[in-house]
Amino acid sequence: MNPLFATLPTSIFEHMSGLARDHDAVNLGQGFPDFGWPDDVVDFAADALRTGSNQYAPMRGLPVLRQAVADHYTRHQNVRTSADEVIVTSGATEALASSILAMVAPGDEVLLIQPLYDAYVPMVRRAGGIPRFMSLTPPDWRLTEEALSAAFTDRTKLVIFCNPHNPTGRMFGADELELLAEACLRHGVIALSDEVWEHVIFDGRRHIPLSSFPGMRDRTVKIGSAGKIFSMTGWKIGWIVAPETLAVPISKAHQFLTFASAPNLQAAAAYGLGKEDMYFETMRANFQQARDTTIAGLGEAGFVALPAEGTYFLSIDLAASGIAASDRDFCERAVREAGVAAIPMSAFYDEGAEGNVVRLCFAKQPETIRAGIEGLRTAKALWKAGS
């Protein structure tokens, strides 16, 4: 038995979704939307099941999807991308795993920025890498020059970065991205850039890919996800965009992890990526509306929410909301006694968590949001009563 995995706790998402089911609680924990998906993309997939191939797709992905990903980034982000640079994976989590397994050798130092998505650290350790951490702090979660210069060393081989940022909902600004790019160049570091939330962004913001900074094209491995673009997290179709020197070893790791993914879903994702701009704008507007409804409701219920610029998530500050509880204790009681599941931010730290911020998924219908906020109000009262 490998103790690395045998001793790992169950992922916080599975833990909280399980408790939500057991206690019939509103689930504002695991990040998935509950207000539908583009029907034409689903119809395309259904037709492809009947009329297309149900055999293995090519290992690097269906040519039509690799081309669609390349065209999509050329069109939406002004980054000229070729289909040769694209590897299709079984979701972004597999993209992360393949990239980490291919790029991290035993003893390599990997810089991780906390709070972070829960899959990064176990995969780095599994590859034999040595995680080094730097932390962002609430309420602004900024990447500062001081923190970056202290964190990058000449032993750093890889930095894993996420923008827009899960779990905080921040979008790093061009100034912060530039500092990160400069640090990568100064120390000869490759960036694994998890950009799965690139289309779920608000208030007219524009996503800036890390690879667009001078010198970064050759040292950035970017990860994208159909699940986030089409509000269908169950599809598990993701991709990697990397320069050929990195794409070759990464594809070797991918071939022995999952080899290939469902061809019908790949074909439908290719169709969807070509949809007109209006689709992407409407999708963003719907999520933005859900965010605003949630923030307004939280305010009325006496919660202090931190700014949410992208992703399906926003966070609440328990201390500022007058709740003297740790985020873990609050979430454990909220799901069991108040009928609402949320995720404690400290679950996204390997070390040195702040401990009083809770992440909520707002990508829900108004009734779900209302019921979730009622649950949070009840949870708050539990702590007020000191019971």
Residue 238 binds ligand GLN (CB under 6 A) = no
Residue 315 binds ligand GLN (CB under 6 A) = no
CA dihedral 362→203→380→33, nearest 10 degrees, is 0
Residue 13 binds ligand GLN (CB under 6 A) = yes
Min CB(30)–ligand GLN separation in Å:
5
Give 30 or 89: the residue with its C-beta nearer to ligand GLN: 30
| Cβ neighbourhood burial of 29 (10 Å; 0-12, 13-18, 19+) | buried
Give 213 or 313: the residue with its C-beta nearer to ligand GLN: 313
The residue with tokens 């001793």 is 7
Write out the two tokens for 157.
């081989």
79 and 209 Cβ atoms separated by less than 8 Å? yes
Residue nearest to ligand GLN (CB): 31
Residue 166 binds ligand GLN (CB under 6 A) = yes
Give 234 or 386: the residue with its C-beta nearer to ligand GLN: 234
Min CB(144)–ligand GLN separation in Å:
25
Give 77 or 166: the residue with its C-beta nearer to ligand GLN: 166
Q: Determine the Cα–Cα distance for residues 347 and 327; give it in Å rounded to an integer.
A: 9
Whose CA is closest to 151, among 135, 138, 167? 135
Give 30 or 220: the residue with its C-beta nearer to ligand GLN: 30
Give 211 or 233: the residue with its C-beta nearer to ligand GLN: 233
123 and 100 Cβ atoms separated by less than 8 Å? yes
The DSSP result for 259-316, as a single string, is: ----HHHHHHHHHHHT--HHHHHHHHHHHHHHHHHHHHHHHHTT-EEPP--BSSEEEE
Give 166 or 251: the residue with its C-beta nearer to ligand GLN: 166
Min CB(10)–ligand GLN separation in Å:
11
Contacting residue, 30, 81, 89, 356, with ligand GLN by CB under 6 A: 30
Min CB(210)–ligand GLN separation in Å:
20
Give 166 or 288: the residue with its C-beta nearer to ligand GLN: 166
315 and 167 Cβ atoms separated by less than 8 Å? yes
- Count of residues binding ligand GLN (CB under 6 A)? 5
86 DSSP assignment: E
Residue 386, helix vs strand vs coil: coil
Write out the two tokens for 227.
């699940």
Min CB(182)–ligand GLN separation in Å:
29
Min CB(218)–ligand GLN separation in Å:
29
Write out the two tokens for 94.
């597999």
CA dihedral 133→205→232→336, nearest 10 degrees, is 60
Contacting residue, 20, 27, 28, 31, with ligand GLN by CB under 6 A: 31
337 and 345 Cβ atoms separated by less than 8 Å? no
Q: Determine the Cα–Cα distance for residues 111 and 149; give it in Å rounded to an integer.
A: 12
Min CB(380)–ligand GLN separation in Å:
23
Instruction: State the binding string over 121-160 for ligand GLN (x if CB under 6 A, else -).
Output: ----------------------------------------
**Maximum distance among all Cα pairs of the chain, rounded to whole angstroms:** 61
Q: Determine the Cα–Cα distance for residues 37 and 235; give it in Å rounded to an integer.
A: 12
Min CB(111)–ligand GLN separation in Å:
21
Min CB(1)–ligand GLN separation in Å:
23
Residue 37 binds ligand GLN (CB under 6 A) = no
Min CB(166)–ligand GLN separation in Å:
5
Give 31 or 344: the residue with its C-beta nearer to ligand GLN: 31
160 and 113 Cβ atoms separated by less than 8 Å? yes
Tell me which residues touch ligand GLN (CB under 6 A): 11, 13, 30-31, 166
